Amino acid sequence: MNPNRANSSNPTQKKADLKNQAPEKDMPENEEKQNHKTKKEAQNSDEQEFKQKYLKARNKTIDLFGRHMDNIKLKNEIKEQRDEIERQRKKIELAYNRARKRTIELYGKHSELKKATKRIEFQQHELLKTNKELEKKNREINDSIEYAKKIQDATLPSIKKMNKYIKDFFILFMPRDVVSGDFFWFHRKENELYMAVADCTGHGIPGAFMSILASTLLNDIISLNIFSSPAVILKELNSRIVKALQQDANQEQSDGMDISLCRIDIINKEFEIACANQDAYLVLNNELILIESDLFSVGGNLGNQLEIEYTNRHFQIQENTKLYLLSDGFKDQFGGSKNKKYGIYKQQELFTNCQTVPFGEQKEFMEKEFKRWKHKNKQIDDILIFGIELDSLEIC
């Protein structure tokens, strides 16, 4: 028996033999797998290490890039801060230059102001000195004016003396200044009474000088006992004024006066009146009569001709006959709601309305009307109204 054949004829044995022989064939494959696994693990380890190094390098790069960007940002911020600092420096420099320039200007102005202050102080000192001198001169002038008023008052008729001959009369006398260019005049000669109201050129001192001159000349003319007619007396007064002021030789000398002069005959109950550029009013039989004047004044531009003639007007004295002699100051006063002159028509209305009150109250009535009309306006002229109730005259 063939032993080899016998072995091959046993299938079970054959499988067992194959089984025992198989590992010998698989050994290289397992080893290869193991080596492959080992290589793969090594490869994975290398990759893992590379990845870690990459990540580390990447993070470092990112960090460095971030720092670089931070540096760039910081540099930009520093540059912006430097630019801002430069701008602020330029602003400060500009402001400084302006302030310096302003300081120089202020210093210059201060110096000028200081000089001006010194000039003002000097001027104030001089002004104070001048004021003291002016106050002294003003006192002297006022004293002189007050003394002139005493002299002018002395030339005016005595009210006490007039009361001896005129029972009912009033004099509304309101000088614009201390002394006046208006004056009233009164003289008795036997059974006749002479009275006048005059308005001289100018106000204050110049007018007062003219009034004293005119009053003195009237006294001289009456004392001669050769003139009795008011018109003739005015003509003589005009001649003397022209000569006294040398108006016949000096045409530029234009001082004169408007005047109303009346002569009252107490025995015969009549009077005559002459008016030189100055109207008068008469109440006769309860009627207001305007006594119109001649055009010419006494002296002045219209009166400096020696041949001038004035007009006499004659009236009979009846019961309740009243005469009003007056200057133009009342009618020329500005006032009222339209600030215009009082005017001749309102003045005539005033004298008409006066007849509704007792004669003794007419002065107060007129004075109130004047103040009402003038109100806050300045008085522009002297005011003089001489009112006489002619049937109240007596010889004492």
Residue 356: exposure state from Cβ atoms within 10 A (0-12, 13-18, ≥19): exposed
C-alpha span between 253 and 163 (Å, rounded):
38
Phi/psi of residue 203, each to 5°? Answer: -125, 175
Which residue type is seen at 206?
A: P
Residue 12's pLDDT band, with cuts at 50, 70 and 90, is low
Domain ranges, ordered by start, for the chain: 10-155, 158-392
SS3 labels along the chain = CCHHHHHHCCHHHHHHHHHHHHHHHHHHHHHHHHHHHHHHHHHHHHHHHHHHHHHHHHHHHHHHHHHHHHHHHHHHHHHHHHHHHHHHHHHHHHHHHHHHHHHHHHHHHHHHHHHHHHHHHHHHHHHHHHHHHHHHHHHHHHHHHHHHHHHHHHHCCCHHHHCCCECCEEEEEECCCCCCCEEEEEEEECCEEEEEEEEECCCHHHHHHHHHHHHHHHHHHHHCCCCCCHHHHHHHHHHHHHHHCCCCCCCCCCCEEEEEEEEEECCCCEEEEEEECCCEEEEECCEEEEECCECCCEEHHHHCCCCCCCCCEEEECCCCCEEEEECCCCCCCEECCCCEECHHHHHHHHHHHHCCCCHHHHHHHHHHHHHHHHCCCCCCCCEEEEEEEHHHECCC
Q: State mean pLDDT over 186-197.
A: 92
C-alpha span between 350 and 163 (Å, rounded):
26
Q: Which residues of 168-184 are buried (b: 16+ CB within 10 A; e: fewer)?
A: bbbbbbbbbeebbbbbb
Residue 7 has pLDDT above 70, yes or no: no
C-alpha span between 302 and 309 (Å, rounded):
12
In the chain, % of residues over pLDDT 70: 89
Q: State mean pLDDT over 70-82.
A: 87
CA angle 138, 143, 146 (to 5 degrees): 125
pLDDT given at position 313: 96
Of 31 and 104, the one with more pLDDT: 104
Q: State mean pLDDT over 216-221.
A: 93
Condensed to tens digits (0 to 9), the pLDDT of residues 147-171 reads 888 888 888 998 988 888 888 999 9
Residue 13's pLDDT band, with cuts at 50, 70 and 90, is low
When mean pLDDT is compared across 3-7, 121-125, 385-389, the lowest value belongs to: 3-7
Residue 194's pLDDT band, with cuts at 50, 70 and 90, is very high
Q: Which two tokens stand for residue 144?
A: 């002189």
pLDDT given at position 233: 94
Residue 2 has pLDDT above 80, yes or no: no
C-alpha span between 329 and 95 (Å, rounded):
71
- Contact yes or no for 240/217 (Cβ under 8 A): yes
Most confident of 29-43, 79-93, 343-357: 343-357
- Could you tell me which of 293, 303, 287 has the C-alpha nearest to residue 326? 293
Residue 8 has pLDDT above 50, yes or no: no
Q: State mean pLDDT over 385-394.
A: 87
Q: State mean pLDDT over 43-60.
A: 82
pLDDT given at position 148: 84
Q: Which two tokens stand for residue 80?
A: 């912006």
Q: State mean pLDDT over 112-121.
A: 88
C-alpha span between 353 and 373 (Å, rounded):
15
Condensed to tens digits (0 to 9), the pLDDT of residues 98-110 reads 888 888 888 888 8
pLDDT given at position 17: 56
CA angle 56, 61, 65 (to 5 degrees): 150
Condensed to tens digits (0 to 9), the pLDDT of residues 232-243 reads 999 999 989 888
Residue 6 has pLDDT above 50, yes or no: no
Most confident of 91-95, 216-220, 251-255, 300-304: 216-220
Condensed to tens digits (0 to 9), the pLDDT of residues 282-314 reads 999 889 999 999 998 998 766 566 678 999 999
pLDDT given at position 346: 95
C-alpha span between 138 and 133 (Å, rounded):
8
Residue 352: exposure state from Cβ atoms within 10 A (0-12, 13-18, ≥19): middle
The radius of gyration of the chain's CA atoms, rounded to the nearest angstrom, is: 66
Residue 361 has pLDDT above 50, yes or no: yes
Condensed to tens digits (0 to 9), the pLDDT of residues 257-288 reads 999 999 999 999 999 999 999 999 999 988 99
Of 75 and 263, the one with more pLDDT: 263
pLDDT given at position 16: 52
Question: Mean pLDDT across the chain, nearest whole number?
Answer: 86
- Contact yes or no for 298/234 (Cβ under 8 A): yes
C-alpha span between 389 and 318 (Å, rounded):
10
Phi/psi of residue 43, each to 5°? Answer: -65, -45
Q: Which residues of 42-78 are buried (b: 16+ CB within 10 A; e: fewer)?
A: eeeeeeeeeeeeeeeeeeeeeeeeeeeeeeeeeeeee
pLDDT given at position 143: 87
Of 268 and 251, the one with more pLDDT: 268
Architecture of domain 158-392: 4-Layer Sandwich (3.60)
Of 21 and 235, the one with more pLDDT: 235
